[in-house]
Structure formats: C-alpha cells, structure tokens
C-alpha cells in the first residue's frame, strides 16, 4: 500500500468524517501559493511561545496540520493533553497524506479529533466545547501565525461565541434536570402497562421508513406523504405532527422525546394523539397522561432510574438519546426492521429565514423570529449553497451524522428540498424516491395488532413497586446519616490545625460513613440523574483528596468538596419524596383500573 492508501485506511477508522471529505478530492493543484512546508527540525522558538498558552490547560486546539510535524512535537511535549487539530486547506492536507506515512500520528490517542476544510470547523468547535475544562489553549502553526493572523482572530472569536452558547445549553439542561427525572418517575406506571419498542423488533423487516421533521422544506413536499402511506412506514417526529394534522394527514406513528412542558403544546390538538404514539421514558408525562392506549414506550440508555426500578439490564435497552427527536424516530424504525430511511423536513437550518413548516405553532412567533435573526453560523445546503443555522442545529446535525455512521448497512436518503447537507445520506427529490418504493406494500395493521395485545406484566409491576417503596422508606434514614456526617465534618478544618491525630481519625470515620451512604444500590442511579454536575465535580476532586499528604490541605479539600455535595444531596430529599410518592400512586391507580376490566 502507498502512503495515501495507508493514511486513508486509518482516517476511515478514526476520523471517518475526514475520510469522507477527502473522497471528494480527485486531484490537487501542483502550484499553490497557500502551500507550506514545515521544517524537519524542531521549531524551538515556536514551541517556547506556545508554552505559555498550553501550560495550565487540558485541551489544545491546533490551527493547521502541515505535514504533522508541529502537531507531533506538541504531543511529545504535552503527554497529558487532548489535541484537536484543524487544517482549513484540504489540498494542503491531501498533499501531506499523499507524501508521508502519518498513520502513527493519526492513531495517537492524544490526537483526539481532526477536522479538515471549512465545513468541519463547527464540528471541531462542538468536540472542543464538550471536552474542555474551563480553558482551551488556542495554538496556530507558524505558517498561519505569519500569514493569516486576521483569520486566526476571527476563528478564535467564533469559537468563543460557540462555546458561550454551548455552556448556556448545558445550564439549560441542568435547569430542566428535575423535570426529566420527574418524567421518568411518572411515566413508569404507563410503561409497565404498554409494549416496549424492544418487543416490536423486526415487525416490518425490509421496509422503507419516511421520517418527517418539521423544517420549512416539508411545506414543499407534504402532499407526497399520503402517496407514500400504502408503501412505507410514515413516522412523524416531534412537532411535525402539527403540520400533518393541519393537512389532515395521519402518520402510522408519532414520536415524542422532549421533556419540557412546552412539548405539551405540540400534542394539544386531540387529533395529534389519535394514532399510535412512541414516547421516551424521559418525555413529558402530561402528553401520555392524555392518551390511555395505543402507546409504545422506549426506555433511553441514559435513563438509569427507569432501568433500575423496572429491573432492566442496560443491554436490554435499544434506544440511545440524541439531541433531536428525529434520532429517536430513526432508531425506532430501524429496530422495527427498516433498511431504508427517507428524511423529510430535516432542514437543520433556516432556508428562506423560516424556522418551521406551516402548522407548527407550539413555539411563539417572537421566539422563532429571534432565533432566525440571531443565527450567526452557516452550513452547506443540499444544493451547494449556504443556509443560516445555529449551534443547536449543529449539535443535532453532528448527532445524526454519528447515528448514520453507526448504521453502515442502511440506506439513508435525504429528500429535504432546501435543507442542510448531511454526511452519510444521499440527496434525492421525493418524487424519485416514491418511484422506487411504489411497488412495495406496507401493512399498517401489523403495528395495530401488536398494540392491542395485552401481556400480563404483574411480576414486573410487583418488582417495581417494591423497589420504589423500599427506596422511599430509606430516604429518611439517609437524610439522618447525612445530617450526622455534616455534624462530624463541622470542626474538621479547625482540628486539622490543632489536633492532627483526632483529625486523621475523623477523616477515617467520614470516609466510612460516606461509603455506607453511596453503597446503597439506588444512590448512583438517582443522584447521577438529579445532581449530575455536583457528582461529577466530586468525582474530579476525589483522587486529589486521596493523594493529598498535607493534612491541613486534605481536610480543607474534604470539607469543601464532600461538604458541598452532602448539602446538595440533602436539599434534594423533599423533591425525591414527592415524586416517589406520586409514582407509587400512579402505579396503584393503573392497577386498580386494570382490575375493573
């Protein structure tokens, strides 16, 4: 194999998005004024200048790849850092992999992410935001420092804006964390009395599924949906059900994922709940409360609470959460047997400065108008032009493309007329796709038959009730244990300075008491859900506490880190008592209704 083949083989495995982009390159210009060659010897003045930027950070953003020499030097000098490299010039990168064997560099674990070309910059921003801790070192190869300083400043500013939005989104997630946990608890009664997505495996083997999103491009092709119904599985993802209802279209399945109360407005019209509904375990419970039958539940792989209380092994759970309900709909269709996925209305951008297709009205006009007007990013569309977009849509795009890559044996067709270009899909007009499936037959009654079957679930109901009640009874005991532990910790800092032997004995007692609390089998599923940031912060600092030999510093760390977490745990008990009591009442109510029939 030559250098190009060797490098491409590694890129396909480690950075498939780069490999996919390089497939578009047929040749490179032999004369290119932007081309640059890195010196073979170490650029010591550059490395010294880099040192101040890199010293106290965990992640390094490297602008430029060159021949990989500067990147290799950074990896050698900073063995405990994650590096994320970006080469804006595809031709430059192509020359490098054509000329040199870079497989060792591409395979190096410290090279965490690689992006090539302008289209992949936002993907790198996302990965950097995901993994950076407080600060990110921004480093540029000498060539770009000397020739494109203005561009570097612009890229850095773009990242700062992107990261600010990312952090805002993370804060939003934290804000709604209680809502999602409440949903899991309140949905349990319905999930114990409805079929799971896992029970519907391969019921439509070999079918075509049409997944409908609510983007503005849907408007142009919505009349095709009725023509597809006899031949394909029609799935309305999230708010697209509103657009379909407005046109009198009834999909074979509607899917809801979002856990916020605003999602209740999506299904406000009775017609939106007439057909079968697939709901996630963390979706808003008010929607499913209004639909007594015709429901399918999907326990999400990150919903450890439901898995624990319903006695589900993680391996038994089919669905992985994505930032968009379309990802849930795709996974459901694949699980039920689809080998071809057709996307409609999946714009992930604002073509024509529009947010939604007509009929989608759960969000206020002012809110959607502001989002469109404030969109500062651009993304290539299916026609080769550019659409306005925002960070949220970029997250969704990255997640969907990752999903496509995880299903290499499936065919993904994007029919979205003016939407974002999606890696891993082929774009085709809807009329051409219809021609390809018009001789297929889809039997909607198969799904309806599964929904009317009622299998006894009494053992699982009994199991879940018992676990919920046992945990509820234990809350008061743990609360008392935490109060006692906080009391023991109260003088810790003082005695570390005045009574070292007593301090050491107290630390040992604190560790024993803390271990008894966290060893409860319900503790981790619940508190990693209701206090994810607090638990993560403690996990980050716990090794430092264990390694600290200075008794005063050790006591200070323990007092601050564990003390903060204990107070947070204690503050959550009123909320937990409330939702556990309600969850038990809901299960008992469902049992009594079942007994009436």
* Domain ranges, residue 244: 178-344+427-452
Residues 6+ apart with CB under 8 A from 21: 90, 116, 117, 119, 120
Q: In this model, does residue 505 exceed pLDDT 70?
A: yes
Q: In this model, does residue 38 exceed pLDDT 80?
A: yes
Residues 86, 130 within the same domain: yes
Distance between CA atoms of residues 202 and 254, nearest Å: 18
Residue 325 forms part of a structural domain: yes
Mean pLDDT, the chain, rounded, equals 88
Mean pLDDT calculated for residue range 480-509: 96
* Beta pairing partners, 386: 380
Q: Which of 309-323, 475-489, 538-552 has the lowest mean pLDDT?
A: 538-552
Choose the final residue of a domain: 124, 140, 174.
174
**Structure-token pair, residue 339:** 């080998």
Q: Which of 104-113, 174-183, 432-441, 491-500 has the lowest mean pLDDT?
A: 174-183
Distance between CA atoms of residues 430 and 345, nearest Å: 11
288-324 per-residue burial string, b: 16 or more CB within 10 A, e: under 16 = beebeebbbbbbbebbbbbbbbbebeeeebbbebbbb
Q: What is the pLDDT of residues 157-196, one digit of tens each?
A: 878 777 776 666 556 556 667 888 999 999 999 999 899 9
- Count how many domains the chain has: 3
Residues 140, 41 within the same domain: yes
Residue 418 forms part of a structural domain: no
> Which pLDDT score, from 0 to 100, does residue 166 have?
66
Residue 485 forms part of a structural domain: yes
Angle among Cα 594, 328, 308 to the nearest 5 degrees reads 55
What is the greatest pairwise CA distance in the chain? 85
Choose the final residue of a domain: 149, 174, 199.
174
Q: Which range among 170-184, 414-428, 444-458, 539-553 has the greatest average pLDDT?
A: 414-428
Residues 439, 548 within the same domain: no
Residue 284 forms part of a structural domain: yes
> Which pLDDT score, from 0 to 100, does residue 17 have?
87
Q: In this model, does residue 595 exceed pLDDT 90?
A: no
> Which pLDDT score, from 0 to 100, does residue 11 have?
92
Task: State the virtual CA torsion across 235, 240, 245, 250 in degrees, nearest 10.
Answer: 0
Residue 355 forms part of a structural domain: no
Residue 110 forms part of a structural domain: yes
Query: Tokens 């990242």 sit at which residue?
Result: 159
Q: In this model, does residue 141 exceed pLDDT 70?
A: yes
Alpha helices, DSSP H, located in 27-114: 44-54, 69-77, 90-99, 103-107
Q: Which helix (H) or strand (E) holds 60?
A: strand 59-63
How many other CB atoms are found less than 10 A from the CB of residue 206? 10
Q: Which of 340-344, 368-372, 430-434, 559-563 has the lowest mean pLDDT?
A: 368-372
Residues 137, 31 within the same domain: yes
Residues 262, 153 within the same domain: no
Q: Report the candidate in 403, 435, 229, 261 with the shortest Cα–Cα distance to residue 332.
A: 403
Residues 33, 130 within the same domain: yes
Pairing type for strands 386-389 and 377-380 reads antiparallel
Residue 397 forms part of a structural domain: no
Residues 159, 198 within the same domain: no
Residues 160, 205 within the same domain: no
Choose the final residue of a domain: 174, 199, 217.
174
Residues 102, 222 within the same domain: no
In terms of pLDDT, which residue wins out, 292 or 127?
292
Residues 473, 537 within the same domain: yes
Residue 165 forms part of a structural domain: yes
Give the CATH number of the domain where residue 90 resides. 3.40.50
Q: What is the pLDDT of residues 228-253, one digit of tens each?
A: 999 999 999 999 999 999 999 999 99
Strand order, beta sheet including 340-344:
295-298, 277-280, 253-256, 233-237, 208-212, 340-344, 411-414, 426-427
Q: Which of 60-74, 163-177, 398-412 has the lowest mean pLDDT?
A: 163-177
Q: What are phi and psi of 109, to 5 degrees?
A: -65, -25
> What is the pLDDT confidence band of residue 535, given thresholds at 50, 70 and 90?
confident
Q: Which helix (H) or strand (E) holds 504?
A: helix 500-518
For the chain, how far is it from start to end, CA to CA, in angstroms?
70
Residues 253, 282 within the same domain: yes
Mean pLDDT calculated for residue range 133-152: 81
Residues 200, 158 within the same domain: no
Q: Are 82 and 131 in contact (CB under 8 A)?
A: yes
In whole angstroms, how far apart are CA 111 and each of 61, 74, 108, 161, 395?
10, 10, 6, 24, 22
Q: What is the pTM of this model?
A: 0.72
Q: What are phi and psi of 564, to 5 degrees?
A: -60, -45
């Amino acid at each position: 194999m030559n250098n190009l083949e060797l490098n491409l083989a590694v890129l396909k495995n480690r950075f498939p998005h780069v490999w996919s982009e390089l497939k578009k390159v047929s040749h490179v210009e032999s004369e290119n004024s932007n081309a640059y060659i890195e010196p073979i010897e170490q650029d010591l003045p550059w490395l010294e200048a880099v040192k101040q930027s890199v010293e106290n950070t965990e992640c390094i953003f490297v602008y430029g790849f060159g021949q990989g020499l500067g990147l290799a030097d950074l990896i050698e000098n900073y063995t405990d850092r994650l590096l994320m490299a970006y080469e804006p010039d595809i031709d430059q990168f192509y020359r490098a992999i054509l000329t040199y064997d870079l497989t060792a560099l591409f395979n190096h674990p410290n090279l965490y992410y690689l992006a090539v070309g302008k289209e992949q910059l936002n993907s790198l921003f996302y990965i950097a935001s995901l993994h950076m801790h407080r600060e990110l070192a921004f480093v540029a190869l000498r060539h770009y420092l000397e020739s494109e300083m203005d561009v570097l400043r612009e890229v850095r500013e773009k990242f700062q804006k992107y990261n600010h939005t990312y952090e805002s989104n993370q804060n939003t997630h934290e804000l709604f964390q209680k809502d999602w946990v409440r949903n899991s608890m309140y949905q349990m009664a319905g999930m114990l009395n409805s079929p799971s997505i896992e029970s519907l495996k391969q019921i439509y083997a070999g079918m075509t599924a049409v997944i409908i999103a609510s983007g503005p491009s849907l408007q142009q092709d919505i009349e095709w949906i009725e023509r597809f119904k006899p031949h394909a599985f029609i799935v309305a993802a999230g708010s697209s059900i509103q657009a379909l209802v407005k046109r009198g279209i009834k999909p074979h399945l509607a899917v809801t994922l979002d856990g916020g109360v605003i999602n209740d407005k999506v299904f406000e019209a009775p017609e939106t709940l007439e057909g079968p509904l697939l709901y996630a375990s963390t979706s808003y419970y008010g929607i499913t409360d209004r639909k007594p039958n015709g429901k399918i539940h999907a326990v999400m792989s990150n919903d450890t609470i439901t898995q624990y209380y319903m006695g589900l092994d993680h391996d038994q759970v089919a669905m992985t959460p994505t930032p968009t309900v379309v990802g849930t709909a795709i996974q459901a269709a694949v699980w039920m047997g689809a080998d071809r996925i057709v996307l409609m209305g999946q714009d992930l951008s604002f073509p024509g400065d529009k947010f939604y297709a007509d009929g989608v009205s759960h969000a206020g006009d002012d809110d959607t108008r502001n989002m469109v007007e404030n969109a500062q990013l651009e993304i290539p569309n299916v026609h080769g032009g550019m659409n306005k977009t925002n960070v949220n849509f970029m997250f969704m795009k990255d997640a969907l493309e990752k999903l496509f890559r995880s299903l290499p044996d499936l065919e993904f067709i994007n029919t979205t007329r003016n939407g974002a270009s999606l890696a891993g899909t082929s774009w085709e007009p809807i009329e051409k796709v219809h021609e390809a499936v018009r001789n297929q037959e889809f039997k909607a009654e198969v799904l309806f038959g599964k929904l009317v079957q009622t299998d006894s679930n009494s053992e699982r109901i009994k199991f879940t009730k018992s676990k919920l009640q046992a945990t509820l009874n234990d809350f008061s005991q743990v609360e008392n244990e935490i109060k006692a532990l906080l009391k023991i910790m109260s003088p810790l800092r003082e005695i570390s300075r005045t009574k070292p032997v007593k301090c050491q004995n107290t630390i040992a007692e604190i560790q024993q008491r803390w271990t008894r609390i966290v060893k409860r089998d319900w503790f981790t599923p619940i508190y990693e859900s209701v206090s994810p940031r607090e638990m993560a912060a403690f996990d980050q600092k716990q090794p430092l506490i264990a390694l600290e030999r200075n008794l005063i510093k050790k006591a200070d760390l323990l007092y601050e880190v564990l003390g903060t977490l204990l107070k947070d745990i204690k503050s959550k008990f009123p909320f937990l008592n409330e939702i556990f009591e309600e969850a038990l009442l809901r299960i008992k109510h469902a049992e009594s209704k079942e007994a009436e029939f």
